[in-house]
Amino acid sequence: MTAEIGHYALVLALLLALIQGVLPIAGVRLRDSVLAGTGEPLAIAQFGFVAVSFTALTACYVTSDFSVFNVFQNSHSEMPLLYKFTSVWGNHEGSMLLWVLILAFFGALVALFGGNLPATLRANVLGVQAWIAISFLLFVLLTSNPFVRLAQVPLEGRDLNPLLQDIGLALHPPFLYLGYVGFSIAFAFAVAALIEGRIDAAWARWVRPWTLAAWIFLTLGIALGSYWAYYELGWGGWWFWDPVENASFLPWLSGTALLHSAVVMEKREALKVWTILLAILTFSLSLVGTFLVRSGVLTSVHAFATDPARGVFILAILIVFIGGALALYAWRAPLLRQGGVFAPISREGALVFNNLFLTAACATVFIGTLYPLALEALTGDKISVGAPFFNATFVPLALPLLFATPFGPLLAWKRGDLYGAAQRLTAAFAIAVLVAAATAALTTGGPILAPFAIGLAVFVMAGALTDLVERTQLLRQRWPVAWRRAAGLPRSAFGTALAHFALGVTLIGIVGESYFTAERISTIRPGDTIAISGYRISFEGLVARQGANYREVSGRLSVRRDGDLIGILTPGKRTYPARGNSTSEAALLTRGFSQIYVSLGDPNPDGSAAMRIYHKPMVLLIWLGALLMAVGGLLSLSDRRLRVGAPKPARKPALQPAQ
């Protein structure tokens, strides 16, 4: 019964979305405020029904109802309860339902908190949002129905892919989807503005919190995915330039550009047409990402089922929305053009610099991700584009952008003083040079690039602090004055500084991991000791144990430094009988920001085992930086100016909302 309720609720949500796709937009056209106001209750009700549907599927999983095909395929009665929950979205159908749930959730948020939007804009936004919902609800119902029943009820399920039985999976997809789908709001705002043919600084102000929220989630989602791959795949890598990873990175890059260009639009009424385009492109890239992952066109470590019906369906969604939005853009954007042109050396100029490099970097990642697909379709040649390509294209574009980051906030609007900004950054630059020199001295014989990159990271961090020091006049005024100035600063200033600072933090982590990782791969016997980066790791033997739904063989290793025992590591190899496959469970020992990483290879009959042992200096900074970026985003989001919203333009009386 539960599955049928879920299915039925989803159909009802589709019907509501269909009405929501027509009435509010028609209301705006007909200048009928009652019709235009139907969007809000419809969006909230639509969310309610999708939520019922999602809850129903979750209930099927928690009660291990194997008569539901999806549950049978992806669950097991002995699986821990947590993973019964997370396997709801650990499969194609369930994760698409989660996608739709989050889409409806954002629609409902606009309906609930969009009170300060002009009624016409709100109606159009909800109308556009409904069309996205319609297409994905149809996708779920027609090609990926999670509620299909089996005629003969199996006694036991086939278990969730063991790689996915992990807390990382519990959090990664929802965050990623909150990011992906959150950008649909920016998209809906852009299309609504094009429909209205009117856009102003206030538009940027309304769009920015939504974009920022989506960006925060996407940042966290990518970081979680990266950390999950790092400890779960057992290779010690944190980013593989895998097409599926790129699929999440593309909207992040263009979303970051969008955040910055929206600032210019809000403050200076410039870059309007560009900002609209970025809003469309960012969600388009989210759709492309969904297509790449969900259609199975890729061969990647994220092995995925191939079902042409789904691929073609998402491709159709892609073409309709991206093509439609861009066509609308080509038609209506010329009407919007009234942005000012500004001096190249100014805050606006710096933000344009940011946008140029971010979009160029985004384009190179896009080409590297899709070129193999295009080439295979055209010539049949199969190629793989991996890390070397992205190191040769993305990195050279990212470096100047990072170097420019501290300058941006120090330049004034309208006309900046580059020389003055450089002067104020002298101290930051000096610190960076010192740290780079110290790094070079301490790591003699190491790669030449590493000290430079560390120096760059320190420059970015010190530059971000310089901005705060300058704004509070910390070094020129007495403490109380500086304190009062700090208290008077908008939170977004701290948010910006923190997010920029975090870029440097992540860069240090990347450099530490890429250049200074020590690695030992060898077969070791019980009693053997391996020395790595000043640690002595002794292998004490293998232990077998039985888990809830798996068997595990794990190695026991003691880690010593200067003779003191500092930890025990137990890397394991698990076999899941339900699916007959196995996973490596790496063991991690954290020391400061560095980690010792051990993963177990095949154990031999004589008790010895092959092991990968790494010392990864500073590796945690990669994800700590991402976390700080997200906190910076949150600080900005909590800024009063964004919460209060833009000054309300006088509404046309005919379009007063119904309630």
- Site size toward other proteins (CB under 8 A) is 80
Q: Which of 112, 153, 167, 303 binds other proteins (CB under 8 A)?
A: 303
CB-based burial label for 536 (10 Å; 0-12, 13-18, 19+): middle
Per the rule left: phi > 0, alpha: psi between -120 and 50, beta: everything else, 31 is left
649 in contact with other proteins (CB under 8 A)? no
Closest separation between CB of residue 292 and other proteins, Å? 11
Closest separation between CB of residue 397 and other proteins, Å? 6
| Residue 342 contacts residue 348 (beta carbons within 8 Å) | yes
Q: Which of 164, 204, 457, 618 binds other proteins (CB under 8 A)?
A: 164
| Residue 54 contacts residue 101 (beta carbons within 8 Å) | yes
Closest separation between CB of residue 378 and other proteins, Å? 14
Task: Write each residue from 312 to 341 as x if it is in contact with other proteins (CB under 8 A), else as -, in one continuous string.
Answer: -----------------------------x
Rounded CA separation 543/525 (Å): 14
The nearer residue to other proteins, 22 or 301, going by C-beta atoms, is 301
Supply 132's token pair: 């996205």
Closest separation between CB of residue 285 and other proteins, Å? 16
Supply 635's token pair: 């600080």
Angle at 40 (CA atoms; ends 34, 45), nearest 5 degrees: 120
Closest separation between CB of residue 404 and other proteins, Å? 12
89 in contact with other proteins (CB under 8 A)? yes
Contact region with other proteins (CB under 8 A), list: 303-311, 481-489, 588-596, 636-644: 303-311
Closest separation between CB of residue 29 and other proteins, Å? 37
160 in contact with other proteins (CB under 8 A)? yes
Closest separation between CB of residue 390 and other proteins, Å? 8
Interface with other proteins in residues 361-400 (CB under 8 A) = 361, 363-364, 367-368, 371-372, 381-386, 388-389, 391-393, 396-397
Per the rule left: phi > 0, alpha: psi between -120 and 50, beta: everything else, 645 is left
The sheet carrying 594-603 orders its strands as 518-524, 609-616, 594-603, 587-591
Which of 156, 345, 364, 348 is closest to 254 using CA atoms?
Answer: 364
* Phi, psi of 609, deg, nearest 5: -155, 150
Rounded CA separation 99/110 (Å): 17
CB-based burial label for 547 (10 Å; 0-12, 13-18, 19+): middle
Q: Which of 142, 312, 356, 644 binds other proteins (CB under 8 A)?
A: 356
* Gyration radius of the chain's alpha carbons: 27
Contact region with other proteins (CB under 8 A), list: 57-65, 253-261, 359-367, 628-636: 359-367
Which of 272, 249, 281, 106 is closest to 185 using CA atoms?
Answer: 106
Interface with other proteins in residues 494-523 (CB under 8 A) = 521-523
* Phi, psi of 435, deg, nearest 5: -65, -40
Closest separation between CB of residue 516 and other proteins, Å? 20
Interface with other proteins in residues 67-86 (CB under 8 A) = 73-74
| Residue 454 contacts residue 435 (beta carbons within 8 Å) | yes
CB-based burial label for 445 (10 Å; 0-12, 13-18, 19+): exposed
Closest separation between CB of residue 399 and other proteins, Å? 12
| Residue 196 contacts residue 255 (beta carbons within 8 Å) | no
CB atoms within 10 A of CB 365: 23
The nearer residue to other proteins, 39 or 162, going by C-beta atoms, is 162
The nearer residue to other proteins, 171 or 433, going by C-beta atoms, is 171
Contact region with other proteins (CB under 8 A), list: 155-163, 183-191, 535-543, 624-632: 155-163
User: What are the CA-CA distances from residue 588 to residues 238, 564, 570, 594, 597 (Å)?
Assistant: 14, 18, 9, 10, 5
Rounded CA separation 87/62 (Å): 10
Q: Which of 71, 97, 123, 169 binds other proteins (CB under 8 A)?
A: 169
| Residue 512 contacts residue 622 (beta carbons within 8 Å) | no
Closest separation between CB of residue 91 and other proteins, Å? 3
Helix (H) or strand (E) holding 532: strand 529-532
Closest separation between CB of residue 543 and other proteins, Å? 19
Supply 137's token pair: 């609800």
The nearer residue to other proteins, 84 or 471, going by C-beta atoms, is 84
The nearer residue to other proteins, 308 or 324, going by C-beta atoms, is 308
Q: Which of 342, 407, 539, 550 binds other proteins (CB under 8 A)?
A: 342
Fill in the DSSP letter of residue 339: P
The nearer residue to other proteins, 352 or 646, going by C-beta atoms, is 352
Interface with other proteins in residues 91-120 (CB under 8 A) = 91-93, 95, 98
Rounded CA separation 317/104 (Å): 17
Task: Write each residue from 22 to 61 as x if it is in contact with other proteins (CB under 8 A), else as -, in one continuous string.
Answer: ----------------------------------------
Contact region with other proteins (CB under 8 A), list: 109-117, 210-218, 300-308, 547-555: 300-308
| Residue 110 contacts residue 41 (beta carbons within 8 Å) | no
| Residue 21 contacts residue 138 (beta carbons within 8 Å) | no
Closest separation between CB of residue 211 and other proteins, Å? 22
Closest separation between CB of residue 243 and other proteins, Å? 11
Closest separation between CB of residue 600 and other proteins, Å? 9
The nearer residue to other proteins, 168 or 625, going by C-beta atoms, is 168
Closest separation between CB of residue 95 and other proteins, Å? 4
Closest separation between CB of residue 341 and other proteins, Å? 5
Long-range contacts of 438-447 (CB under 8 A, 24+ apart): 443/516, 446/515, 446/516, 447/515
Interface with other proteins in residues 412-471 (CB under 8 A) = none
Interface with other proteins in residues 198-257 (CB under 8 A) = 225, 228-229, 234, 244-245, 248
Q: Which of 80, 115, 154, 344 binds other proteins (CB under 8 A)?
A: 344
158 in contact with other proteins (CB under 8 A)? yes
SS3 234: coil
Rounded CA separation 62/57 (Å): 9
Task: Write each residue from 461 to 500 as x if it is in contact with other proteins (CB under 8 A), else as -, in one continuous string.
Answer: ----------------------------------------
657 in contact with other proteins (CB under 8 A)? no
Interface with other proteins in residues 585-614 (CB under 8 A) = 599, 601-602, 610-612
Angle at 94 (CA atoms; ends 88, 99), nearest 5 degrees: 115
Rounded CA separation 544/219 (Å): 38
Interface with other proteins in residues 550-589 (CB under 8 A) = 573, 579-584
64 in contact with other proteins (CB under 8 A)? no
The nearer residue to other proteins, 122 or 294, going by C-beta atoms, is 294
